[in-house]
Amino acid sequence: MLYFSNSQANNLPDLGSPDLVEYDKQTEQQLGRAFNTALHTQYQLFNDLETNAYIRELGHKLASFTGDNRNYRFYIINDSSINAFAGPDGIIGIHTGLIEATETEDELAAVIAHEISHVTQNHLSRRYEYSATNGNINSIASVIAAILIGMYDPSAGMATLMGGMGYNLQQQLKNSRMHESEADSIGIELLYKAGYNPHAMGDFFGRLSKASQLDTFKAPEILRTHPVSEHRLAEAENRAQNLGKQNHLKPESYLNFIKMRLRALESTQAPFDSKTTSSADKEACYNQALKLIESGKTVAKCLAEYANKTENLPVFTTALVESYTKNDTDLSAEKLEKLNKLIEFKLELHPNNPSIPLRYSRLLAKLGKTQQGIDLLEKAEKNLKYRYELYNELAELYSKKQKESYVYIYLAKANFEIGNIDRSEYFLKRSKETLNKNSNKLKQEIFIFEDKISKLLKNNDKKENN
């Protein structure tokens, strides 16, 4: 589990009082909301729609095998360091550098499974309980601060944990080793259940360890927060060997497509090594499409062909839409009708993928069809687990139509999604103040949302008064 600079730590939200002595489900959810707000307001998240959709699909697939009913959420940190972390209430963070460093989807799944296992085994709360039992706790905020700090500076994060919690060094290291071993063991079983190679965890950490030995000045951050020893690698290999043969196949991986997006967005895209297989042909097409999207000149000829095939990944559909959005070429009525039908079809196949409706709503707005974009997003809302981007997009579209009260209600919802209750209450108040008295639909929506916030605040008050 990961353990940001000291100046960043000073800006952290208030995450608990010094006399907080129990870490129950409600406390964990409160900490999760505060942690989520900090991630979205103080740190640089990587907001590429397709990359997030991919990581979240992978993460939730793995989490579905835990039997844990936590509200898992997966976020990408825009940071080139090879790292990942687990925070309270099932929040998992993956650095862009880690995605780039993995060679296979199995390796990426291995790290995510490891972090999920830190959550299922309650390692954060167990650290808290240890410190509370020994009478050394200043505030549970120290634990959260240590995780946040360690996203960017692992050594500073550990120092925060040691100093803020008053841990005994020997006991802390013992707990850390025990938790890492436990997360390996549970994570390898998760990999196996989800159809991934259970050897991938040991292989990835072992490969990083060997590479770091050649560069003694800078080991990957993930090795500093997840120390690798020969014993740990042997345990991982033994655990994987004992699981036996898998009986089911993984779906097609699209890690390579995501890595292309990362390279294109970072303007460091290397030439693609095209081979003669159909998979490589698809990858070559996608690689070309990304270059043309960036130039804004034309649409890759192969893109529509791959986008229209049922079996192909949604990244081709969203790349086609993105090409039209960034391209100055006019869309004929016939092409737009075909695109409408394609989007409808892909949404039926991938109802939980937010990149499809969000990309298309932006194209519709560019074409002056703002209301059609609004209708698309409001229809997609019920199927999506992650709605922060969708609510912000709806607020922007309604601002084009100069409907203030709708802008504010969606900003309120966006802030609620990331746990920022104060900002959510502020925008809800502004929505009510600017409400057209004849807008019964919005009036009902405001009432329902206001009730949702008030119930949450009442639960928090009960917790504080107990």
* HEC-encoded secondary structure of 213-253: HCCCCCCCHHHHHCCCCHHHHHHHHHHHHCCCCCCCCCCCC
* Residue recorded with tokens 């959510």: 424
The 10 Å CB-count burial string (b at 16+, else e) for 65-97 is bbeeebebbbbbbbbebbbbbbbbbbbbbbbbb
Q: Which CATH class is domain 278-465?
A: mainly alpha
pLDDT band at 346 (very low <50, low <70, confident <90, very high): very high
Query: Identity (one letter) of the amino acid at 78?
Result: N
Is the pLDDT assigned to residue 18 strictly greater than 80? no
In the prediction, which pLDDT does 123 show? 61
Interval 274-290: pLDDT, tens:
443 345 689 999 999 99
Report d(CA 398, CA 400) in Å as an integer: 5
In the prediction, which pLDDT does 35 show? 86
With CA atoms as reference, report the closest residue to 144 among 125, 130, 131, 117.
Answer: 125
In the prediction, which pLDDT does 361 show? 98
Say which residue, 286 or 147, is predicted with more confidence: 286
Is the pLDDT assigned to residue 430 strictly greater than 90? yes
Is the pLDDT assigned to residue 20 strictly greater than 60? no
Report d(CA 460, CA 33) in Å as an integer: 12
Parts of the chain belonging to CATH 1.25.40: 278-465
Distance of CA 66 to the CA centre of its chain: 18
User: What's the angle, vertex CA 330, arms to CA 324 and CA 334, rounded to 5?
Assistant: 90
- Residue 344 — φ and ψ, nearest 5°? -60, -45
In the prediction, which pLDDT does 61 show? 94
Dihedral sign for Cα 352, 121, 95, 391, please. Answer: positive
Q: What are the structure tokens assigned to 409, written together?
A: 């209600």
Q: Would you say the pTM of this structure is higher than 0.95?
A: no
Q: What are the structure tokens assigned to 107, written together?
A: 């390796």
Of 73-77, 144-148, 302-306, 454-458, where does mean pLDDT reach its minimum? 144-148
Q: What are the structure tokens assigned to 308, written together?
A: 């229209």
Average pLDDT over residues 108-134: 74
The 10 Å CB-count burial string (b at 16+, else e) for 355-389 is bbbbbbbbbbbeeeebeebbebbeebeeebeebbb
With CA atoms as reference, report the closest residue to 223 among 125, 113, 98.
Answer: 98
Report d(CA 183, CA 300) in Å as an integer: 44
Q: Which stretch, 240-249, 269-278, 400-409, has highest mean pLDDT? A: 400-409
Dihedral sign for Cα 97, 219, 238, 170, please. Answer: negative
Percent of the residues in the chain that have a pLDDT greater than 70, as a whole number: 72
The 10 Å CB-count burial string (b at 16+, else e) for 120-142 is bbebbbebbebbbeeeebebbbb
| Other Cβ atoms within 10 Å of 342 Cβ, number | 18
Interval 166-206: pLDDT, tens:
444 344 444 466 767 777 888 889 999 999 998 988 888 88
- Please report, to the nearest 10 degrees, the dihedral formed by the alpha carbons of residues 17, 28, 201, 76 taken in order: -90
Average pLDDT over residues 100-104: 93
Say which residue, 140 or 349, is predicted with more confidence: 349
In the prediction, which pLDDT does 461 show? 57
Is the pLDDT assigned to residue 291 strictly greater than 60? yes
CB 128 within 8 A of CB 143: yes
Is the pLDDT assigned to residue 216 strictly greater than 80? no
Q: Report the greatest alpha carbon distance in the chain.
A: 71
CB 258 within 8 A of CB 269: no
